Amino acid sequence: MNFLAINWPHVWFVTLLGFALVLVLLVVLIYVLKLFGVIMQPRVKVETPKEVHEAVGAPRKEESEHITLTGEATAAIAMALHLYYNGIHDEEPTHVTIKRIERKYSPWNAKIMGMNNLHRN
């Protein structure tokens, strides 16, 4: 193998420039994505805590500090949200399940036959 036969300047050029280009291109993408994130942030008016407390009548910060959620409660809330957002819930048949039962007349269910005919004198 002849090391001198290799075009080392070109090999180094490809190595350094190639890697630099990968870095530069992905750094450009980082800034574009960051900008993108700023633009796409939901523009919802965030109410100040005071407004929220007044509107909802919720406990103030000092009071709310005492509220602690257990792991089970957090899991239940997370599960409920998951079910709600993914539309996972019991399928409702959307029709009334209590039907009026109609039986055809038969001597077997005839009321008159079930009654004792007491002879009255």
Partner 1 sequence: MWTDILEFFRGMGFMQMGADFLGAGWQQLVMLFVSFFLLYLAIKKQYEPLLLLPIAFGMLLTNLPGANMFHSELWSAFLDPSSPAYHSYGAILKEGGLLDVLYIGVKAGVYPCLIFIGVGAMTDFGPLIANPKSLLLGAAAQIGIFITFLCANAMGFTEAQAGSIGIIGGADGPTSIFLTSKLAPELLGPIAIAAYSYMALVPVIQPPIMRLLTTKKERAIKMKQLRAVSKTEKIIFPIMVTTIVALILPDAAPLIGCLMLGNLMKECGVVDRLSKTAQNELMNIVVIFLGLSVGATATGASFLNWQTLMILAMGIVAFGIGSGGGVLLAKLMNVFSKEKINPLIGSAGVSAVPMAARVSQQVGQEENPGNFLLMHAMGPNVAGVIGSAVAAGILLTMLG
DSSP code of residue 4? G
Q: Min. distance of Cβ 15 from partner 1 in angstroms?
A: 5
Give the shortest CB-86-to-partner 1 separation in angstroms.
Answer: 14
Q: To the nearest 10°, report the CA torsion of 70, 72, 75, 76.
A: -110
In the bound state with partner 1, the residue whose beta carbon lies nearer, of 6 and 75, is 6
Which residue do the tokens 């409660």 mark? 73
Q: Which is nearer to partner 1, 8 or 84 (CB)?
A: 8
Residues that bind partner 1 (CB under 8 A): 1, 3, 6-8, 10-12, 14-19, 21-23, 25-34, 36-37, 40, 42
Instruction: Please say whether the beta carbons of 61 and 49 come within 8 A.
Output: yes
Q: Which amino acid is at 96?
A: V
Q: Give whichever of 37 and 114 is closer to partner 1, judged by the CB atom.
A: 37
Least distance to partner 1 from the beta carbon of 48, Å? 22
| Minimum CB–partner distance for residue 29 and partner 1 (Å) | 5
- Which residue, 4 or 98, is less far from partner 1 as judged by CB? 4
